[in-house]
Amino acid sequence: MRYDNIRGGRFITRLNRFEAAVEIDGREQLCHVKNTGRCKELLVPGAAVFAQV
């Protein structure tokens, strides 16, 4: 699968199964979480993430 307009950022917190707060370019952004599983060991505050903008 190929994605365009990918930006790197830092994970802040998971708001619910489908939404997460992510810092991209110094601004907090609301992002959709595609994997609705727990991901507790992956989604820790400060973890590097990539989002399609």
Domains and CATH numbers, the chain: 6-52 (2.40.50.580)
DSSP count for the chain of H helices, then E strands: 0, 4
pLDDT recorded at residue 50: 94
pLDDT recorded at residue 18: 94
pLDDT recorded at residue 1: 82
Distance between CA atoms of residues 41 and 26, nearest Å: 24
CA distances (Å), 42 to each of 2, 4, 5, in order? 22, 23, 23
Average pLDDT over residues 5-11: 96
pLDDT recorded at residue 53: 84
* pLDDT tens sequence across 19-51: 999 999 999 999 999 888 889 899 999 999 999
pLDDT recorded at residue 36: 83
